[in-house]
Amino acid sequence: MIDAVRNAMRLPDLRNKILFTLLILIIYRLAAHIPVPGVNPTALTTLFNSNQLLGFLDLFSGGALSNFSIVAMGVYPYITATIIMQLATGIIPSLEKLQKEGGDAGRQRLDQITHLITIPLAALQGFGQALVLTQSNPPVLTQFGLTTFPLQTIAIIVTLTAGTIFAMWLGELISEQGIGSGISIIIFGGIVAAIPQRVGQMIQSNPTSLIFFVVITIITIVGIVYIQEGHRRVPVQYGKRVRGTKMYGGQSTHIPLRVNSAGMIPLIFAISILIFPGVIAGYFAAPPGQPQNLANLIVNAFNQNSPVYWVVYFFMVIGFTYFYTDVIFRQQNLPEVLQQQGGFIPGIRPGKRTEDYLNGVLQRITLVGAVFLGVVAVLPFLIQDVSETNTLIITSTGLLIVVGVVLDTMKQLQAQLLMRHYEGFIK
Protein backbone atom coordinates (compact mmCIF):
# COMPACT_ATOMS: atom_id res chain seq x y z
CA MET A 1 0.00 0.00 0.00
CA ILE A 2 2.78 2.42 0.93
CA ASP A 3 4.63 1.58 -2.29
CA ALA A 4 1.47 2.19 -4.30
CA VAL A 5 0.99 5.65 -2.78
CA ARG A 6 4.67 6.45 -3.26
CA ASN A 7 4.54 5.40 -6.92
CA ALA A 8 1.33 7.37 -7.47
CA MET A 9 2.88 10.53 -6.01
CA ARG A 10 5.61 10.32 -8.63
CA LEU A 11 3.07 10.76 -11.44
CA PRO A 12 1.88 14.38 -11.78
CA ASP A 13 -1.74 13.61 -12.75
CA LEU A 14 -2.25 11.03 -9.99
CA ARG A 15 -0.51 13.29 -7.48
CA ASN A 16 -2.94 16.07 -8.42
CA LYS A 17 -5.89 13.71 -7.92
CA ILE A 18 -4.67 12.72 -4.46
CA LEU A 19 -3.99 16.32 -3.44
CA PHE A 20 -7.41 17.37 -4.78
CA THR A 21 -9.07 14.66 -2.68
CA LEU A 22 -7.22 15.85 0.43
CA LEU A 23 -8.21 19.46 -0.30
CA ILE A 24 -11.91 18.55 -0.53
CA LEU A 25 -11.63 16.62 2.76
CA ILE A 26 -10.10 19.67 4.43
CA ILE A 27 -12.94 21.86 3.15
CA TYR A 28 -15.51 19.43 4.50
CA ARG A 29 -13.81 19.16 7.87
CA LEU A 30 -13.75 22.96 8.14
CA ALA A 31 -17.49 23.07 7.38
CA ALA A 32 -18.04 20.36 10.00
CA HIS A 33 -16.82 22.79 12.68
CA ILE A 34 -19.16 25.67 11.75
CA PRO A 35 -22.11 25.19 14.13
CA VAL A 36 -25.70 26.18 13.50
CA PRO A 37 -26.52 29.37 15.49
CA GLY A 38 -28.14 28.89 18.87
CA VAL A 39 -26.53 25.55 19.81
CA ASN A 40 -25.67 24.79 23.44
CA PRO A 41 -22.41 22.76 23.16
CA THR A 42 -22.55 21.42 26.73
CA ALA A 43 -26.09 20.13 26.30
CA LEU A 44 -25.12 18.68 22.91
CA THR A 45 -22.28 16.66 24.46
CA THR A 46 -24.58 15.35 27.20
CA LEU A 47 -27.20 14.30 24.65
CA PHE A 48 -24.71 12.43 22.46
CA ASN A 49 -23.46 10.45 25.43
CA SER A 50 -26.98 9.14 26.08
CA ASN A 51 -28.49 8.82 22.56
CA GLN A 52 -27.27 5.96 20.36
CA LEU A 53 -29.27 7.07 17.31
CA LEU A 54 -27.48 10.39 17.13
CA GLY A 55 -24.15 8.61 17.57
CA PHE A 56 -24.98 6.34 14.64
CA LEU A 57 -26.03 9.27 12.44
CA ASP A 58 -22.86 11.12 13.44
CA LEU A 59 -20.92 8.27 11.85
CA PHE A 60 -22.45 9.02 8.43
CA SER A 61 -22.07 12.77 8.82
CA GLY A 62 -18.33 12.37 9.14
CA GLY A 63 -18.42 13.63 12.73
CA ALA A 64 -20.30 16.84 11.82
CA LEU A 65 -23.46 16.01 13.75
CA SER A 66 -21.68 15.98 17.11
CA ASN A 67 -21.02 19.70 16.53
CA PHE A 68 -24.46 20.21 14.94
CA SER A 69 -22.69 22.07 12.17
CA ILE A 70 -24.08 23.30 8.85
CA VAL A 71 -23.26 19.86 7.38
CA ALA A 72 -24.61 18.01 10.42
CA MET A 73 -26.53 15.45 8.35
CA GLY A 74 -23.59 14.80 6.04
CA VAL A 75 -24.49 12.50 3.16
CA TYR A 76 -26.90 10.28 5.10
CA PRO A 77 -30.03 11.60 3.27
CA TYR A 78 -28.30 10.85 -0.03
CA ILE A 79 -27.45 7.32 1.15
CA THR A 80 -31.10 6.85 2.13
CA ALA A 81 -32.26 8.13 -1.26
CA THR A 82 -29.84 5.77 -3.03
CA ILE A 83 -31.16 2.77 -1.07
CA ILE A 84 -34.75 3.80 -1.85
CA MET A 85 -33.94 4.01 -5.56
CA GLN A 86 -32.21 0.61 -5.54
CA LEU A 87 -35.26 -0.99 -3.93
CA ALA A 88 -37.72 0.93 -6.13
CA THR A 89 -35.90 -0.07 -9.31
CA GLY A 90 -36.77 -3.72 -8.69
CA ILE A 91 -40.42 -2.86 -7.99
CA ILE A 92 -41.36 -0.08 -10.45
CA PRO A 93 -41.25 -1.34 -14.08
CA SER A 94 -40.50 2.09 -15.58
CA LEU A 95 -37.42 2.52 -13.39
CA GLU A 96 -36.27 -1.02 -14.13
CA LYS A 97 -36.64 -0.38 -17.87
CA LEU A 98 -34.74 2.89 -17.50
CA GLN A 99 -31.88 1.08 -15.76
CA LYS A 100 -31.65 -1.79 -18.26
CA GLU A 101 -32.33 -0.02 -21.55
CA GLY A 102 -31.57 3.62 -20.87
CA GLY A 103 -27.79 3.38 -21.15
CA ASP A 104 -25.82 6.41 -19.94
CA ALA A 105 -28.85 8.68 -20.34
CA GLY A 106 -30.92 6.30 -18.20
CA ARG A 107 -28.29 6.21 -15.46
CA GLN A 108 -28.07 10.00 -15.49
CA ARG A 109 -31.86 10.20 -15.17
CA LEU A 110 -31.81 7.80 -12.21
CA ASP A 111 -29.05 9.87 -10.58
CA GLN A 112 -31.13 13.00 -11.12
CA ILE A 113 -34.15 11.37 -9.47
CA THR A 114 -31.94 10.30 -6.55
CA HIS A 115 -30.72 13.87 -6.11
CA LEU A 116 -34.28 15.20 -6.16
CA ILE A 117 -35.37 12.65 -3.53
CA THR A 118 -32.43 13.69 -1.35
CA ILE A 119 -33.76 17.24 -0.91
CA PRO A 120 -37.07 16.44 0.87
CA LEU A 121 -35.38 13.65 2.83
CA ALA A 122 -32.72 16.10 4.01
CA ALA A 123 -35.38 18.64 5.03
CA LEU A 124 -37.39 16.04 6.95
CA GLN A 125 -34.33 14.61 8.66
CA GLY A 126 -33.07 18.08 9.52
CA PHE A 127 -36.41 18.95 11.09
CA GLY A 128 -36.46 15.67 13.03
CA GLN A 129 -32.92 16.03 14.33
CA ALA A 130 -33.47 19.65 15.36
CA LEU A 131 -36.70 18.64 17.11
CA VAL A 132 -34.84 15.97 19.09
CA LEU A 133 -32.24 18.53 20.12
CA THR A 134 -34.99 20.92 21.19
CA GLN A 135 -36.72 18.32 23.40
CA SER A 136 -33.53 17.19 25.14
CA ASN A 137 -32.86 18.03 28.77
CA PRO A 138 -31.25 20.53 28.82
CA PRO A 139 -32.33 21.67 25.33
CA VAL A 140 -29.59 21.96 22.72
CA LEU A 141 -31.65 24.36 20.60
CA THR A 142 -33.74 26.92 22.44
CA GLN A 143 -35.15 28.79 19.45
CA PHE A 144 -36.79 26.17 17.27
CA GLY A 145 -40.46 25.61 16.43
CA LEU A 146 -42.67 26.57 13.50
CA THR A 147 -45.24 28.22 15.75
CA THR A 148 -42.94 30.00 18.21
CA PHE A 149 -39.82 30.72 16.14
CA PRO A 150 -40.86 30.33 12.47
CA LEU A 151 -38.02 32.30 10.87
CA GLN A 152 -35.29 30.66 12.95
CA THR A 153 -36.81 27.22 12.30
CA ILE A 154 -36.99 27.70 8.54
CA ALA A 155 -33.45 29.08 8.51
CA ILE A 156 -32.11 26.04 10.41
CA ILE A 157 -33.90 23.55 8.11
CA VAL A 158 -32.74 25.35 4.96
CA THR A 159 -29.19 25.51 6.31
CA LEU A 160 -29.09 21.80 7.13
CA THR A 161 -30.60 20.87 3.75
CA ALA A 162 -28.12 23.08 1.91
CA GLY A 163 -25.32 21.52 3.96
CA THR A 164 -26.33 18.06 2.77
CA ILE A 165 -26.37 19.21 -0.86
CA PHE A 166 -22.96 20.82 -0.32
CA ALA A 167 -21.53 17.62 1.17
CA MET A 168 -23.01 15.59 -1.68
CA TRP A 169 -21.48 17.97 -4.21
CA LEU A 170 -18.06 17.68 -2.54
CA GLY A 171 -18.35 13.89 -2.68
CA GLU A 172 -19.16 13.96 -6.38
CA LEU A 173 -16.20 16.25 -7.01
CA ILE A 174 -13.94 13.64 -5.42
CA SER A 175 -15.49 10.88 -7.54
CA GLU A 176 -15.02 12.88 -10.75
CA GLN A 177 -11.65 14.54 -10.20
CA GLY A 178 -10.08 12.75 -7.25
CA ILE A 179 -9.39 9.20 -6.13
CA GLY A 180 -11.99 6.84 -4.68
CA SER A 181 -15.72 7.05 -4.10
CA GLY A 182 -16.38 10.60 -2.92
CA ILE A 183 -19.33 9.87 -0.62
CA SER A 184 -17.42 7.09 1.13
CA ILE A 185 -14.25 9.18 1.35
CA ILE A 186 -16.13 11.95 3.20
CA ILE A 187 -17.49 9.49 5.76
CA PHE A 188 -14.06 7.90 6.02
CA GLY A 189 -12.42 11.27 6.72
CA GLY A 190 -14.79 11.98 9.60
CA ILE A 191 -14.18 8.60 11.23
CA VAL A 192 -10.41 8.81 10.95
CA ALA A 193 -10.33 12.41 12.16
CA ALA A 194 -11.87 11.35 15.49
CA ILE A 195 -9.23 8.67 16.22
CA PRO A 196 -6.50 10.87 17.79
CA GLN A 197 -8.92 12.50 20.23
CA ARG A 198 -10.43 9.18 21.32
CA VAL A 199 -7.02 7.54 21.69
CA GLY A 200 -5.93 10.47 23.86
CA GLN A 201 -9.02 10.07 26.04
CA MET A 202 -8.32 6.35 26.44
CA ILE A 203 -4.69 6.97 27.39
CA GLN A 204 -5.80 9.39 30.09
CA SER A 205 -8.59 7.20 31.47
CA ASN A 206 -7.28 3.63 31.02
CA PRO A 207 -3.88 3.26 29.29
CA THR A 208 -3.77 -0.54 29.62
CA SER A 209 -6.97 -0.94 27.62
CA LEU A 210 -5.27 0.66 24.62
CA ILE A 211 -3.30 -2.55 24.00
CA PHE A 212 -6.48 -4.58 24.08
CA PHE A 213 -8.04 -2.09 21.69
CA VAL A 214 -5.19 -2.42 19.21
CA VAL A 215 -5.34 -6.24 19.28
CA ILE A 216 -9.11 -6.35 18.81
CA THR A 217 -8.95 -3.74 16.04
CA ILE A 218 -6.26 -5.66 14.13
CA ILE A 219 -8.20 -8.92 14.41
CA THR A 220 -11.39 -7.20 13.26
CA ILE A 221 -9.65 -5.55 10.31
CA VAL A 222 -8.15 -8.86 9.19
CA GLY A 223 -11.58 -10.50 9.38
CA ILE A 224 -13.23 -7.66 7.46
CA VAL A 225 -10.60 -7.79 4.71
CA TYR A 226 -10.91 -11.57 4.45
CA ILE A 227 -14.70 -11.48 4.13
CA GLN A 228 -14.88 -8.36 1.96
CA GLU A 229 -12.43 -9.81 -0.54
CA GLY A 230 -13.82 -13.35 -0.38
CA HIS A 231 -15.78 -14.58 -3.38
CA ARG A 232 -16.83 -17.78 -5.10
CA ARG A 233 -15.75 -18.14 -8.72
CA VAL A 234 -18.48 -19.75 -10.79
CA PRO A 235 -16.97 -21.01 -14.09
CA VAL A 236 -18.55 -19.74 -17.32
CA GLN A 237 -17.93 -21.01 -20.85
CA TYR A 238 -18.77 -19.00 -23.96
CA GLY A 239 -19.66 -20.83 -27.15
CA LYS A 240 -17.82 -20.25 -30.40
CA ARG A 241 -19.48 -18.05 -32.98
CA VAL A 242 -18.48 -17.61 -36.61
CA ARG A 243 -18.95 -14.23 -38.25
CA GLY A 244 -17.76 -14.10 -41.80
CA THR A 245 -14.32 -15.62 -41.89
CA LYS A 246 -13.58 -14.99 -38.21
CA MET A 247 -14.42 -17.04 -35.15
CA TYR A 248 -15.35 -15.36 -31.88
CA GLY A 249 -15.87 -16.66 -28.35
CA GLY A 250 -14.92 -20.01 -26.99
CA GLN A 251 -13.09 -18.58 -23.99
CA SER A 252 -13.56 -19.58 -20.38
CA THR A 253 -14.07 -17.11 -17.56
CA HIS A 254 -15.86 -16.94 -14.21
CA ILE A 255 -18.49 -15.00 -12.27
CA PRO A 256 -17.11 -13.72 -8.94
CA LEU A 257 -19.96 -14.01 -6.42
CA ARG A 258 -18.95 -12.05 -3.34
CA VAL A 259 -19.34 -13.47 0.14
CA ASN A 260 -20.59 -10.08 1.31
CA SER A 261 -22.43 -8.39 -1.54
CA ALA A 262 -24.49 -6.17 0.75
CA GLY A 263 -21.63 -4.22 2.32
CA MET A 264 -22.76 -2.42 5.46
CA ILE A 265 -26.30 -1.64 4.24
CA PRO A 266 -27.85 -4.39 6.43
CA LEU A 267 -26.43 -2.72 9.53
CA ILE A 268 -28.08 0.56 8.51
CA PHE A 269 -31.43 -1.17 7.96
CA ALA A 270 -31.26 -3.12 11.21
CA ILE A 271 -30.22 -0.35 13.56
CA SER A 272 -32.63 2.16 11.98
CA ILE A 273 -35.59 -0.16 12.63
CA LEU A 274 -34.31 -1.46 15.97
CA ILE A 275 -34.11 2.01 17.48
CA PHE A 276 -37.76 2.87 16.82
CA PRO A 277 -39.43 0.63 19.48
CA GLY A 278 -37.40 2.15 22.30
CA VAL A 279 -37.83 5.72 21.03
CA ILE A 280 -41.61 5.40 20.59
CA ALA A 281 -42.09 3.54 23.88
CA GLY A 282 -40.12 6.26 25.66
CA TYR A 283 -43.00 8.69 25.13
CA PHE A 284 -45.44 6.34 26.94
CA ALA A 285 -43.14 5.06 29.70
CA ALA A 286 -44.02 5.80 33.30
CA PRO A 287 -41.71 8.32 35.02
CA PRO A 288 -39.31 7.16 37.77
CA GLY A 289 -41.00 6.37 41.05
CA GLN A 290 -44.25 5.16 39.48
CA PRO A 291 -45.29 1.57 38.60
CA GLN A 292 -43.75 0.45 35.33
CA ASN A 293 -45.93 -0.37 32.35
CA LEU A 294 -45.40 -2.20 29.06
CA ALA A 295 -43.64 0.82 27.58
CA ASN A 296 -41.00 0.67 30.33
CA LEU A 297 -40.35 -2.99 29.54
CA ILE A 298 -39.90 -2.16 25.85
CA VAL A 299 -37.54 0.70 26.67
CA ASN A 300 -35.45 -1.56 28.91
CA ALA A 301 -35.44 -4.42 26.38
CA PHE A 302 -34.36 -2.22 23.48
CA ASN A 303 -31.70 -0.38 25.41
CA GLN A 304 -28.21 -0.78 23.95
CA ASN A 305 -27.03 -2.32 27.21
CA SER A 306 -29.70 -5.05 27.07
CA PRO A 307 -28.82 -8.54 25.75
CA VAL A 308 -32.24 -8.62 24.02
CA TYR A 309 -31.24 -5.60 21.94
CA TRP A 310 -28.06 -7.23 20.67
CA VAL A 311 -29.63 -10.64 20.00
CA VAL A 312 -32.39 -9.04 17.94
CA TYR A 313 -29.79 -6.84 16.23
CA PHE A 314 -27.71 -9.89 15.30
CA PHE A 315 -30.58 -11.76 13.64
CA MET A 316 -31.95 -8.63 11.95
CA VAL A 317 -28.55 -8.02 10.34
CA ILE A 318 -28.54 -11.60 9.01
CA GLY A 319 -32.08 -11.22 7.65
CA PHE A 320 -31.40 -7.89 5.96
CA THR A 321 -28.16 -9.23 4.48
CA TYR A 322 -30.09 -11.93 2.66
CA PHE A 323 -32.80 -9.45 1.65
CA TYR A 324 -30.47 -6.81 0.23
CA THR A 325 -28.20 -9.36 -1.47
CA ASP A 326 -31.24 -10.88 -3.20
CA VAL A 327 -32.40 -7.43 -4.37
CA ILE A 328 -29.00 -6.56 -5.82
CA PHE A 329 -28.61 -9.99 -7.46
CA ARG A 330 -32.03 -9.78 -9.13
CA GLN A 331 -31.19 -6.35 -10.52
CA GLN A 332 -28.03 -7.72 -12.12
CA ASN A 333 -30.08 -10.43 -13.89
CA LEU A 334 -26.98 -12.56 -14.54
CA PRO A 335 -28.77 -15.64 -16.02
CA GLU A 336 -30.40 -13.55 -18.75
CA VAL A 337 -27.19 -11.65 -19.48
CA LEU A 338 -25.25 -14.92 -19.83
CA GLN A 339 -27.85 -16.35 -22.18
CA GLN A 340 -27.86 -13.23 -24.34
CA GLN A 341 -24.07 -13.30 -24.63
CA GLY A 342 -23.91 -16.99 -25.43
CA GLY A 343 -22.42 -17.99 -22.08
CA PHE A 344 -23.31 -20.96 -19.90
CA ILE A 345 -22.17 -22.66 -16.72
CA PRO A 346 -20.69 -26.11 -17.55
CA GLY A 347 -23.15 -28.84 -16.64
CA ILE A 348 -26.04 -26.39 -16.02
CA ARG A 349 -28.75 -25.69 -18.59
CA PRO A 350 -29.28 -22.00 -19.46
CA GLY A 351 -32.34 -20.16 -18.21
CA LYS A 352 -34.22 -21.31 -15.12
CA ARG A 353 -31.66 -23.97 -14.14
CA THR A 354 -28.84 -21.42 -14.24
CA GLU A 355 -30.86 -19.00 -12.15
CA ASP A 356 -31.62 -21.66 -9.52
CA TYR A 357 -27.98 -22.75 -9.43
CA LEU A 358 -26.65 -19.21 -8.97
CA ASN A 359 -29.27 -18.48 -6.32
CA GLY A 360 -28.28 -21.63 -4.43
CA VAL A 361 -24.58 -20.76 -4.51
CA LEU A 362 -25.29 -17.17 -3.48
CA GLN A 363 -27.44 -18.22 -0.52
CA ARG A 364 -24.77 -20.59 0.77
CA ILE A 365 -21.89 -18.13 0.61
CA THR A 366 -24.08 -15.27 1.86
CA LEU A 367 -24.61 -17.21 5.08
CA VAL A 368 -20.93 -16.70 5.91
CA GLY A 369 -21.09 -13.00 5.10
CA ALA A 370 -24.37 -12.54 7.00
CA VAL A 371 -23.10 -14.23 10.16
CA PHE A 372 -19.88 -12.22 9.95
CA LEU A 373 -21.82 -8.95 9.65
CA GLY A 374 -23.93 -10.03 12.62
CA VAL A 375 -20.81 -10.67 14.70
CA VAL A 376 -19.36 -7.32 13.65
CA ALA A 377 -22.62 -5.63 14.64
CA VAL A 378 -22.65 -7.07 18.17
CA LEU A 379 -18.88 -6.84 18.66
CA PRO A 380 -19.08 -3.70 20.88
CA PHE A 381 -21.47 -5.52 23.24
CA LEU A 382 -19.25 -8.62 23.37
CA ILE A 383 -16.15 -6.54 24.12
CA GLN A 384 -17.96 -4.48 26.72
CA ASP A 385 -19.18 -7.66 28.41
CA VAL A 386 -15.65 -9.11 28.52
CA SER A 387 -13.59 -6.02 29.33
CA GLU A 388 -16.26 -3.95 31.10
CA THR A 389 -15.37 -1.04 28.84
CA ASN A 390 -16.28 0.04 25.34
CA THR A 391 -12.82 -0.65 23.96
CA LEU A 392 -13.51 -0.09 20.27
CA ILE A 393 -12.63 3.55 19.71
CA ILE A 394 -13.69 3.02 16.12
CA THR A 395 -17.01 1.22 16.16
CA SER A 396 -17.34 -2.02 14.26
CA THR A 397 -19.56 -0.24 11.73
CA GLY A 398 -16.90 2.44 11.39
CA LEU A 399 -14.25 -0.22 10.81
CA LEU A 400 -16.36 -1.69 8.01
CA ILE A 401 -16.48 1.71 6.35
CA VAL A 402 -12.80 2.46 6.86
CA VAL A 403 -11.58 -0.90 5.56
CA GLY A 404 -14.03 -0.87 2.66
CA VAL A 405 -13.01 2.63 1.60
CA VAL A 406 -9.29 1.83 1.84
CA LEU A 407 -9.69 -1.34 -0.23
CA ASP A 408 -11.80 0.41 -2.87
CA THR A 409 -9.46 3.39 -3.07
CA MET A 410 -6.38 1.19 -3.41
CA LYS A 411 -8.06 -0.78 -6.20
CA GLN A 412 -8.80 2.44 -8.06
CA LEU A 413 -5.25 3.61 -7.50
CA GLN A 414 -3.94 0.30 -8.79
CA ALA A 415 -6.15 0.59 -11.87
CA GLN A 416 -4.86 4.10 -12.54
CA LEU A 417 -1.26 2.91 -12.25
CA LEU A 418 -1.83 -0.09 -14.48
CA MET A 419 -3.45 2.15 -17.10
CA ARG A 420 -0.21 4.08 -17.20
CA HIS A 421 1.80 0.85 -17.51
CA TYR A 422 3.64 1.49 -14.26
CA GLU A 423 5.51 -1.79 -14.03
CA GLY A 424 7.07 -1.03 -10.65
CA PHE A 425 3.68 -1.37 -8.96
CA ILE A 426 2.99 -4.93 -10.17
CA LYS A 427 6.35 -6.50 -9.38
**pLDDT given for residue 328 in this prediction:** 81
Closest CA to 60 of 190, 172, 164, 198: 190
Q: Which contacts (CB < 8 Å, 24+ apart) does range 194-202 have?
A: 194/63, 195/393, 195/394, 198/393, 198/394, 199/393, 202/393
What are the residue ranges in the chain where pLDDT is below 50? 391, 422-427
**pLDDT given for residue 166 in this prediction:** 92
Closest CA to 133 of 269, 37, 197, 62: 37
**pLDDT given for residue 50 in this prediction:** 65
Q: Measure the CA–CA gap between 85 and 303, rounded to whole angstroms.
A: 31
pTM of the model: 0.75
**pLDDT given for residue 211 in this prediction:** 77
**pLDDT given for residue 52 in this prediction:** 59
**pLDDT given for residue 303 in this prediction:** 72
Task: Determine the topology of domain 212-394 in CATH.
Answer: Preprotein translocase SecY subunit (1.10.3370)
Residues 271 and 56 sit within 8 Å (Cβ to Cβ): yes
* CATH superfamily to which 1-193 belongs: SecY subunit domain (1.10.3370.10)
Query: Where are the domain boundaries for CATH 1.10.3370.10 in the chain?
Result: 1-193, 212-394
CA 97 to chain centre: 27
